[in-house]
Amino acid sequence: IISTAFFVSYLYYITYKFGVIPSISDSVYRTKNELLFFLFTLGVGAPIGYIGYSENVWELLLTGVFLTYVGISPKFKKDKKSIEDEVHSIGAIGAIGISLSCLAFRYDMWHPLATLVVFFTTMYIAKIRNLVYWNEIMAFILILIGLYFRK
């Protein structure tokens, strides 16, 4: 519930203020507030990590860690050869990939992963603008719903 509150609040704020942007992480360049972005990633990631810790599910613990990596490396565009770009990308892809894999393999909930693959493929074929943004949102929604209904 805490992760969902942080996710919805931050997403509402950036969408209301800036509209649809290339990615959620791009909001750092719009708001010019790295701390706000870090608090967002921490607010979403720490509760997921805590679920992993308290339920002995290492994949969810790692998801929380990876989301924190995203938050501590907000200026991912400053230099394509910087470690910040690598940490940010690994954190984002890792958090989504590991959490969806966890839902599929550990909780036998394949729907979120399959839905994201179909959603991404459809959006890609349709050449939808801001593809990363929409896929990040869909991934977060599917992950949060999956965590809510896990067994």
pLDDT at residue number 78: 61
Give residue 32's region: left, alpha or beta (phi > 0; psi -120 to 50): left
Q: How far apart are CA 50 and CA 120, in angstroms?
A: 29
**Using one digit for the tens of pLDDT, what is the confidence trace for 68-120?**
988 887 766 666 667 777 777 888 899 999 999 999 999 999 999 999 999 99
Q: How far apart are CA 40 and CA 36, in angstroms?
A: 6
Residues listed for the chain: 151
What is the C-alpha R_g of the chain? 15
Q: Which of 6, 89, 104 is nearest to 46 (CA)?
A: 6
Q: 75 with 87: CB under 8 angstroms?
A: no
